[in-house]
Amino acid sequence: MRKILFIVIVIFVSSCNSKIDDAPHEINFDRDICYVCKMGLVDQRYTAQLVNKYGEAIWFDDIGCLVRLMKDEEWAEINKDPVKMYVGECESGKWLDAEKSFYRYGDATPMGFGYGALDQANDSTFTFTEAVTRIQEGKSLREEFMKKMKEKKKGMHSQ
Within a domain: 101: yes
Decide if pLDDT at 142 tops 90.
no
Would you say residue 158 lies in a domain?
no
pLDDT digits (tens, 9 = 90+) for 18-27: 677 889 999 9
Q: What is the pLDDT of residue 1?
A: 64
Please indicate, yes or no, if residue 157 is contained in any of the structural domains.
Answer: no
Backbone dihedral region of 38: left (phi > 0), alpha (psi from -120 to 50 degrees) or beta? left
Please report whether residue 29 resides in a domain. yes
Residue 112: pLDDT band (50, 70, 90) is very high
Residue 13, domain member (yes or no): no
How far is the CA of 84 from the CAs of 23, 56, 139, in angstroms?
8, 10, 25
Number of compact structural domains in the chain: 1
- Name the more confident of 77 and 106: 106
88 located within any domain: yes
- With respect to residue 81, please indicate whether it lies within any of the assigned structural domains: yes
pLDDT band at 157 (very low <50, low <70, confident <90, very high): low
Query: pLDDT-based confidence at 77, cuts 50/70/90?
Result: confident
C-alpha 113/C-alpha 118 separation (Å) is: 16
Model confidence, pTM:
0.80
Domain that holds residue 128: 20-151
Model confidence over 26-45: pLDDT tens digits? 999 999 999 999 999 999 99
Residue 7 falls inside a structural domain: no
